[in-house]
Structure 1
Amino acid sequence: MGKPRNTTLIVLAFFAIYVIWGSTYLLNKIAVLELPPFMLASFRFTTAGVMIFVLARMLGIAIHVTKKQLLNTIFAGFLFLSFGNGVVVWALRYVDTGFAALEISAQPLVILLFMRVLEGKKIQPMSVVGVILGIVGIYLLVSQQQIINKENSVVGMIMIFACMLSWAYGSLFVAKADLPSNYFVNTGYQMFTGGIMLALMSLGFGEKWIAPNHWSFDVQLVMVLLIIFGSILAFTSFNYLLKVVSPEKVATSTYVNPIVAMILGWYFLKEEITLQSIVAAIVLLTGVYFINTKKTLAILERFKK
């Protein structure tokens, strides 16, 4: 009985990080056109963290953690949320949703390179092909003149790449760190502490905070979706999967996220999907596929253990 239930939970968790997270690019883009980016992200994650703690108490789930676990969740919250997500939200002011998702889709490539540099793990031949294709795909993506010529687009690209590095390192850190055993509680601490750090970043950059009753109806709706589905549900699923499967398997969400983001951006925001972007997506995601060969995944599984 336990095994089928666990399998179902894993499938649902993958759906959350594949499809729901793919839609958050659109939701963040709609919100950040009206709200300051770090204030937006801080409100989203702090609110989600508080809601998780309230739900945990209602369900009788203990939220006590050790000092080491608290410090680890704070560090993970910074890598994933304060920097890894907050700066992406900022960058969405200057780049399209599909572009941002495609650039971040190179995350498996970065995880592999991190494992090589930080842990001395050998890169398998098929993965070398994947790395080369990934680099070519990223070049095709970021070299488009119609994108480069947009105001602050290059800065946006660079900052999204930095966020991708943060998420990649965070994925490896979380896979081995001492964190709260309950994934719901783990998510709550990461979101709450990450949200507080984002609030400090917002104040540091002098952002003007806007009360929710002054937001447009569209942004109010978007924030509800971001908090409940994009934050609580999807991020809990993400933390759960990082503990039960390899970090590289979790990173395969990058196959689906860009496609979801591009379609939604095109449909709702009339964002242009160029032929070069399509070619870049094919090359880049093919590279990610080569990285995710069975031999490579076996190396990653051994690394996790």
Structure 2
Amino acid sequence: MNFFNSYKSNLFLNLILVYIIWGSTYMGVKIGLNDLSPLLLTGLRFFIGGVILFVLILFLKKLPTLEEAKGSMLIGLLLTGFGTSSLAYAIQFLPSGLVALLVALLPIWMFLLDFLFFSKTKPSILSGSGMLIGLAGVLFLFNPFGLNGGINSTQISPIFIVFFSSLIWAFGSLMSTKTKQAKGIAGLSFQMLAGGTFAFLASMFLESNQIEEIQTMSSSTILSLTYLILIGSFIGYSAYIWLINNAPPILTSTYAFVNPVVAIIVGFYIANEVLDSSSIIASGLILLGVIFMTLGRRKKGEF
């Protein structure tokens, strides 16, 4: 009973951390992009964070085995390398709340990949209904059919990049449970180092003026980068890693429904982004979808 209560407490604590912290990082990335190119920003965020943690594990003398290090680097390459770098690029061209809403399709990708290639587990009726309700909220706010103006031609490519990023992220999350990795801060360190190195290499080929951008960073960019490293990565990312290794995939993916609500609120108060009646209605639908998905997992006795 004590183990169950401890697991349950950790589960909801990590869910809340990912819900709130990652919802706020969309605006942090948006601010950082005022001075830094997207791949450079991603590289700095994860490489610096990875180095800090690596120094710590050297001090604690808790280096992982070569096999564990390789496993952690593979997952880091998929999640923070391909996944986060793609999002950072796309967020230049789309409002932060809209990017979060596109990422809200993650539960669909997570379920499909899990069902086809991993657990073969079907969702309960409540969980399936929750996915549909959450998706309805995304579509209501995103308005892909152009009922109120819709998307413009310059946003089509970034939207597909976000979809690609979500698929890679979903696959990497599911692979994490099947891959031998280092535990604790050692695992986080090697994941972040792999993702940050990939982003730096991609920046070398696809971007320019990196040294000048770093030298001319504004105080707001430095603060946003600090927030992304200390809060977004150390706390938010570590909470997500715990979830993908300890919680049902569909439940873990509910963060993608809640993050848009947080991103929209943060965008409204910090960057004066639009918060209209459609946003409020869509947020309500999204939260209702999360509730149904959560109740669906509880009914099946998975937490």
TM band (smaller chain): 0.7 to 0.9
- The yes-or-no answer on 1:73 pairing with 2:72 is yes
List runs of 5+ in structure 2 lacking aligned partners.
none
User: Quick check: 245-254 or 47-56, which moved more?
Assistant: 245-254
Q: Percent identity?
A: 26
**CA pair 205-101 structure 1, distance change in 2 beyond 3 A:** same
Q: Taking structure 2 as the reference length, what is the TM-score of the superposition? A: 0.86
Describe how 1:223-302 pairs up with structure 2 within 5 A: 223-294=225-296, 298=300, 301=302
**CA pair 55-70 structure 1, distance change in 2 beyond 3 A:** closer
CA shift, 1:92, in A, is 0.9
CA shift, 1:124, in A, is 3.4
CA shift, 1:226, in A, is 0.8
**CA pair 296-210 structure 1, distance change in 2 beyond 3 A:** farther
> Structure 2 counterpart of 1:98, which letter?
G
Aligned to 2:210: 209
In 2, Cα distance between equivalents of 1:19 and 1:241: 15
In 2, Cα distance between equivalents of 1:131 and 1:19: 20
**CA pair 174-298 structure 1, distance change in 2 beyond 3 A:** farther
**CA pair 127-233 structure 1, distance change in 2 beyond 3 A:** closer
> Structure 1 counterpart of 2:73, which letter?
I
In 2, Cα distance between equivalents of 1:39 and 1:290: 39
User: Quick check: 161-170 or 186-195, which moved more?
Assistant: 161-170
Describe how 1:1-305 pairs up with structure 2 within 5 A: 3=3, 9-58=10-59, 60-67=60-67, 69-119=68-118, 120-140=120-140, 141-143=142-144, 144=146, 145-146=148-149, 148-149=151-152, 152-180=154-182, 182-210=183-211, 212-294=214-296, 298=300, 301=302
> Structure 2 counterpart of 1:62, which letter?
K
CA shift, 1:297, in A, is 7.2
In 1, Cα distance between equivalents of 2:282 and 2:161: 20
After superposition, the C-alpha distances for 1:229-282 in whole angstroms (9 at most, x for unaligned) are 111222112212222322332222234322211111011111112433433333
In 2, Cα distance between equivalents of 1:29 and 1:64: 35
Runs of 4+, deviation exceeding 4 Å? 2-12, 144-147
List runs of 5+ in structure 1 lacking aligned partners.
none
1:183–1:240 Cα contact (<8 Å) kept: no
In 2, Cα distance between equivalents of 1:9 and 1:291: 19
User: How many residues are paired up?
Assistant: 297
- Secondary structure of the structure 2 residue equivalent to 1:152: helix
1:23–1:264 Cα contact (<8 Å) kept: yes
Q: Taking structure 1 as the reference length, what is the TM-score of the superposition? A: 0.86
In 1, Cα distance between equivalents of 2:123 and 2:184: 31
RMSD of aligned alpha carbons: 2.7
**CA pair 165-54 structure 1, distance change in 2 beyond 3 A:** same
